[in-house]
Amino acid sequence: MARFSANLGFLWTEHSLPDAIRAAARAGFDAVECHWPYDVPIDEVRSALADTGLQMLGINTMRGTPEAPGNGMSAVPDLEAQARAAIRQAVEYAAAIGAHNIHVMAGVAAGDAAQQCFLTNLQFACDLAAPHGIAILIEPLNPFDAPGYFLSSTEQAASIIALAGRNNLKLMFDFYHVERTEGNALGKVENLLPVIGHIQFAAVPDRGAPDHGALDYGPVFDHLDELGYTDPLGAEYKPDGATEDSLGWLNAQKQR
């Protein structure tokens, strides 16, 4: 049966991160993940994880700087020093709380120089994270939500993973982004499974709870089970109102 992780970047945002972790545990999630936890003392996050028995699956590198305020900076030429400082910050924080993955965000960029910049920064991140048993993730984002983002397709991501030559570099496959940009997300996830490190989901196209929209997630979760994917799936959606009121899909899955 599928297991699920609450993405606390979108769920229970009215709470502090430690309290959101506790809310996710009460709701029946199997794990948690978040975006940018860096303003929260490490001891408070560690305590909430210990109290609940949940694992923190992943965090993101910082979004950017005044020079690159978008979704990260690791593919932005001339910002290598800032990008690597963000990577060091993420590895230190993730190691301290026992997080499994770090999503290294590429930023708004294009062209060969951006690709080379991204590759070298990813290799740096992988080498820094490997001694801690942490995987580095990259995620294609759709152009509607993230115009100009460097990484825009699963094909591009798979190519970069191959070029980087690091065993702990993986794809974060988000059904929401892939379905909006490429379509046939269910077929693509099967083909890409060997390089996938984490899977996320939300309704298409409104990024709401996964109980409506263009993708029927019941068969999606069943197919992932059939493929042998057992890691918790990341619920990264924007609830329309209170998070607790959006969890009918989770309760239905738990009762199967």
Cβ contact 2:233 at 8 Å = yes
Q: Is 241 left (phi over 0), alpha (psi -120 to 50) or beta?
A: left
109 to 84, 118, 129, 180: CA distances (angstroms):
17, 10, 24, 21
pLDDT at 255: 85
Q: Reading across the β-sheet that carries 169-174, which strands appear in turn?
A: 31-33, 4-7, 233-235, 196-201, 169-174, 135-138, 101-103, 58-60
Known catalytic membership, residue 139: yes
7 - beta bridge partners? 33
Per-residue pLDDT at 68 exceeds 60: no
Known catalytic membership, residue 244: no
Q: Tell which residue, 134, 177, 133, 127, has the closest CA to residue 154.
A: 177
Q: Which residues are CB-neighbours of 3 under 8 A, at least 6 positions away?
A: 30, 31, 230, 231, 232, 233
Return the residue matching tokens 């229970």: 12
* pLDDT, mean of residues 55-84: 87
Residues 143-157: tens digit of each pLDDT: 999 999 999 999 999
- Quick one: tokens of 36? 């940018």
Residues 39-67: tens digit of each pLDDT: 999 999 999 999 999 999 999 999 876 65
- Quick one: tokens of 205? 């196209």
> From CA 121, how far away is CA 100, in angstroms rounded?
19
* pLDDT, mean of residues 206-215: 97
Half-sphere exposure of 6 (CA within 13 A, CB side): 28
Residues 117-135: tens digit of each pLDDT: 999 999 999 999 999 999 9
Q: Tell which residue, 94, 153, 164, 159, has the closest CA to residue 126.
A: 164
Q: Which class is 4-254 in CATH? A: alpha beta
pLDDT at 211: 96
Instruction: Please state the domain extents for the chain.
Output: 4-254
Residues 8-23: tens digit of each pLDDT: 999 999 999 999 999 9
Between strands 4-7 and 31-33, the pairing is parallel
Residues 212-225: tens digit of each pLDDT: 999 999 999 999 99
Q: Per the residue annotation, which of 14, 92, 139, 244 is the catalytic one?
A: 139
